[in-house]
């Protein structure tokens, strides 16, 4: 059994939260970097459209593999150390991509950039270890939302750069942001003394990596290979076999990469399943709105906006997610993260439902982006609090890494399904496949269905209790009392007077910050 050998200090400067959130935003910028030039990649890299998609697929696969592994390594050897390492690998990857126009080096660079995905769970773990209870809720919400914030900000910025300069400048910019994030982290973020005991589970890491690659590869390439082709079905079958064997091994090893017994608890299991649905809903709007906005008006439904204007109209999706972080903290302090997750799901459902009838003007896209940003922000913000409330302190990095992975799987499935829908409903205009309004509406209906499933899963979440296997974490009675109160405040399950007091403290913190 793992346990912490040092107590978290729970003392940190005011710069910790913005610096860690900035690191999360840098990761999101790296992910969104190539969206404005996706359609031009075959020409830019002098390759076929099928091979060009590997530039995006490689980042997705390495991010999926790195996220739970980096979380576990952070629990064992220090979260700040691994955060800096993941950002450094991203910088190297960005520089590799910046100096090449050849396919293979570009894929290598993008694969290295994917390792930065581990920064999100590591940042959440650092906050959990260092921050006082009145700041923890809003801080984790901001960190969790940073993927959406960075994505929203990066779209118009990347479009502007791609339109007016050499596209390699995108990678130089990402490298510069990464170096800045590393410098700020080293200056402002102290290393957490919290450590999990045990060793790194290398066979478990290799097994999970193989299973994820075998699963995500046919999802991302299925439309190219054919969904019923031998390759696609064979990879899905191999994935199922590898993950099954991996699960059996993880249950038998004394220090597993992922504690499946903890993961199987209803509080963790339903949160992770709901995370997949939130990931699906987040990616659908990111795929549909920019295309609808940029299609020419001659199609009869396109809104004829430039790449930059389309990016600016979708940007409020990320900005609204940032604004919801302090709102989430107040709601969660009063009602608990389960209620905020349910509320977020309802708002997302309203956004997509209304979106079915709001596709006729550019300003309507702005409204959809704002409503969905608010809902997705609330939902994303709730996830780390629900996970942290259900796992021992020594497993927060790995558990949040797995949760971030579930969101990534949701976006991957969403990308594949919506890509297939838009391709199958497209019209052929002079040899170019043009998405149709029918395809956009079907995509929104799929997102609405995913949100409905996520809502059911959120309703099934149990009322959170203190994890039963956490007594070994106790150090002094004073520290234990502080930890107890912090976690109770996070779950919104303190006595009424304490809840009111903590809400007031959170509000004061937000007004000052």
Q: Are 240 and 186 in contact (CB under 8 A)?
A: no
Q: Are 430 and 298 in contact (CB under 8 A)?
A: no
* Partners of 428 in beta bridges: 433
Instruction: Please report the beta strands in 389-446, taking only residues with DSSP state E, as ranges in sequence order.
Output: 427-429, 432-434
The parts of the chain modelled with pLDDT lower than 70 are 1-13, 299-304, 359-360, 429-433, 464-513
Supply the DSSP string of 167-221, one letter for each residue: TTHHHHHHHHHHHHHHHHHHHH-PPP---B-S---HHHHHHHHHHHHHHHHHHHH
> Token pair for residue 59?
């980042």
Which pLDDT belongs to residue 433? 67
Query: What's the CATH fold of domain 16-201+253-512?
Result: Growth Hormone; Chain: A; (1.20.1250)
Per the listing, tokens 């203190």 go with 466
* Partners of 255 in beta bridges: none
Q: Are 5 and 195 in contact (CB under 8 A)?
A: yes
Helices (H), 316-391: 316-335, 337-355, 362-388
Nearest CA among 375, 368, 365 for reference residue 343: 375
Which pLDDT belongs to residue 493? 36
Q: Provide CB contacts within 8 A for 207, sequence distance 6+.
A: 242, 243, 245, 246, 249, 250
Per the listing, tokens 């998609």 go with 53
Q: Are 454 and 429 in contact (CB under 8 A)?
A: no
414 — alpha (psi -120 to 50), left (phi > 0) or beta? alpha
Helices (H), 45-193: 49-52, 54-77, 79-98, 103-114, 119-130, 133-164, 169-188
Which pLDDT belongs to residue 10? 44
Q: Are 93 and 112 in contact (CB under 8 A)?
A: yes
Q: For residues 79 and 70, give the distance between their C-alpha atoms in angstroms, rounded to a whole number.
A: 9
Tell me the domain boundaries of the chain: 16-201+253-512, 202-252
Which pLDDT belongs to residue 500? 30
Which pLDDT belongs to residue 323? 78
Q: For residues 320 and 315, give the distance between their C-alpha atoms in angstroms, rounded to a whole number.
A: 9
Which pLDDT belongs to residue 161? 80
Q: For residues 88 and 82, give the distance between their C-alpha atoms in angstroms, rounded to a whole number.
A: 10
Q: For residues 127 and 16, give the distance between their C-alpha atoms in angstroms, rounded to a whole number.
A: 8
> Token pair for residue 346?
């309802």
Nearest CA among 512, 152, 105 for reference residue 311: 152
């Amino acid at each position: 059994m793992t346990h912490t050998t040092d107590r978290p200090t729970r003392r940190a400067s005011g710069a910790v939260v913005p610096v860690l959130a900035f690191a999360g935003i840098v990761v999101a910028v790296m992910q969104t970097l190539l969206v404005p030039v996706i359609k031009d990649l075959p020409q830019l890299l002098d390759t076929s459209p099928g091979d060009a998609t590997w530039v995006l697929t490689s980042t997705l696969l390495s991010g999926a593999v790195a996220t739970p592994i980096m979380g576990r390594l952070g629990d064992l050897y220090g979260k700040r150390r691994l955060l800096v390492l993941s950002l450094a690998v991203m910088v190297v990857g960005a520089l590799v991509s910046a100096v090449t126009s050849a396919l293979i080096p570009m894929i290598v660079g993008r694969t290295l950039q994917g390792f930065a995905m581990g920064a999100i769970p590591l940042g959440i773990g650092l906050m959990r270890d260092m921050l006082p209870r009145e700041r923890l809720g809003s801080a984790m919400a901001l960190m969790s939302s940073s993927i959406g914030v960075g994505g929203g900000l990066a779209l118009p910025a990347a479009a502007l750069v791609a339109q007016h300069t050499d596209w390699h400048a995108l990678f130089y910019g990402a490298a510069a942001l990464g170096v800045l994030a590393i410098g700020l982290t080293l200056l402002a973020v102290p290393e957490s003394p919290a450590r999990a005991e045990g060793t790194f589970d290398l066979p478990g890491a290799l097994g999970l990596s193989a299973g994820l690659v075998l699963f995500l590869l046919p999802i991302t390439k299925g439309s190219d290979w054919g969904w019923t082709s031998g390759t696609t079905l064979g990879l899905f079958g191999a994935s199922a076999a590898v993950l099954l064997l991996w699960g059996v091994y993880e249950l038998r090893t004394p220090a597993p990469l992922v504690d499946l017994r903890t993961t199987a608890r209803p509080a963790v299991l339903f949160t992770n399943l709901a995370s997949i649905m939130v990931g699906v809903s987040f990616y659908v709007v990111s795929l549909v709105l920019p295309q609808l906005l940029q299609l020419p008006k001659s199609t009869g439904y396109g809104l004829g906006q430039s790449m930059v204007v389309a990016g600016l109209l979708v940007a409020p999706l990320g900005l609204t997610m940032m604004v919801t972080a302090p709102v989430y903290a107040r709601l969660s302090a009063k009602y608990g993260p389960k209620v905020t997750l349910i509320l977020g799901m309802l708002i997302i459902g309203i956004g997509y439902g209304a979106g079915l009838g709001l596709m006729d003007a550019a300003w309507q896209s702005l409204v959809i982006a704002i409503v969905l940003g608010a809902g997705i922000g609330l939902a994303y913000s709730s996830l780390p609090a629900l996970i942290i409330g259900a796992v021992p302190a020594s497993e927060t990095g790995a558990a949040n890494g797995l949760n971030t992975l579930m969101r990534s799987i949701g976006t991957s499935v969403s990308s594949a399904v919506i890509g297939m829908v838009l391709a199958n409903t497209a019209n052929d205009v002079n040899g170019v496949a043009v998405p149709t309004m029918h395809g956009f509406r079907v995509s929104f209906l799929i997102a609405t269905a995913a949100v409905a499933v996520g809502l059911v899963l959120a309703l099934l979440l149990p009322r959170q209790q203190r994890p039963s296997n956490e007594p070994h974490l106790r150090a002094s009675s004073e520290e234990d009392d502080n930890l107890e109160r912090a976690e109770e405040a996070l779950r919104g399950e303190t006595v009424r007077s304490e809840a009111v007091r903590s809400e007031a403290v959170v509000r004061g913190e937000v007004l000052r910050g």
